[in-house]
Amino acid sequence: MPNRVIREDLFESDRWLDLHTDSARLMFIVILLLVDDFGNLEGGRRLQRRALATTQIKDLPTVLKVLSELQDADLIRRYEVDGREYWHVPRFKNLRTYWSRKFPRSPWCGERKSAIEKKNKSLT
């Protein structure tokens, strides 16, 4: 599991503060802690089980509702690669020097991240 520092900017984010429940806010923090260095995370059943285990959410329909609320607030974006579900955090700011990708590249991956990824590949 990656080490993350959650910046205090989160507590000033209108998108995060406007979420309807604390469960949705906590779910977003869980997602921030689980994404790879590019802000991507595997979705599907694994993410749903993590939501049930780490938040106050008690059933699958509520997990799906919370994910939809996070998506409506543009805190996360869903994408698919080879029929598998993934999520991307669009404003994810990673300050690490060396980045590693665990999940397929999202359609919203920034130019800076692409250049760093190519540089890291050439070093190996």
Domain assignments of the chain as residue spans, ordered by start? 8-123
Overall fold of domain 8-123: Arc Repressor Mutant, subunit A (1.10.10)
Residue 62 has pLDDT above 50, yes or no: yes
Give pLDDT, residue 77: 94
Tokens, residue 93: 């700011």
SS3 string of 89-106? CCCCCCCCCCCCCCCCCC
Give pLDDT, residue 117: 57
Percent of the chain whose pLDDT exceeds 70: 81
* 124, 77 contact by CB (below 8 A): no
**Residue of higher predicted confidence among 4 and 121:** 4
- Which residues are paired to 86 by β-bridges? 42, 79
**Residue of higher predicted confidence among 114 and 80:** 80
**Residue of higher predicted confidence among 113 and 58:** 58
Give pLDDT, residue 1: 46
